[in-house]
């Protein structure tokens, strides 16, 4: 797949009602594309409540984010219902 097709597939995975875990190829594109990372972080912030995010995908995007300036309990992200 070319990068645009992969990008479409990445967003499809987190907008589909059944959701799916990203493929290795998709994860590699995410790791290497800062603009895509930014879009995914924004998408996550705007769509977390729709239950389309798989826990593994959520953790990938969460781990891309810089540490916040305020402290959260260690299990804060574990408590989000999926």
Domain ranges across the chain: 3-64
The dihedral through the CA atoms of 65, 7, 59, 27 has a sign that is negative
| 60 HSE (CA, 13 A, CB side) | 22
pLDDT at position 67: 56
Structure tokens at 53: 């995010």
Averages of pLDDT over each 10 residues, the chain, 82 residues = 92 82 95 94 84 86 66 51 51
pLDDT at position 17: 67
Q: How far apart are CA 72 and CA 31, in angstroms?
A: 25
pLDDT at position 75: 55
Q: How far is CA 15 from CA 5, 47, 58, 62, 74, in A?
A: 15, 8, 12, 17, 27
pLDDT at position 71: 45
């Amino acid at each position: 797949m070319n990068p645009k097709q992969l990008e479409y597939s990445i967003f499809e995975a987190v907008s589909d009602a059944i959701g799916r875990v990203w493929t290795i190829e998709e994860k590699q594109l995410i790791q290497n594309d800062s603009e895509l990372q930014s879009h995914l972080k924004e998408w996550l912030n705007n769509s977390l409540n729709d239950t389309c995010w798989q826990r593994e995908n959520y953790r990938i995007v969460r781990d891309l984010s810089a540490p916040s300036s305020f402290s959260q309990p260690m299990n804060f992200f574990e408590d989000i219902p999926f």
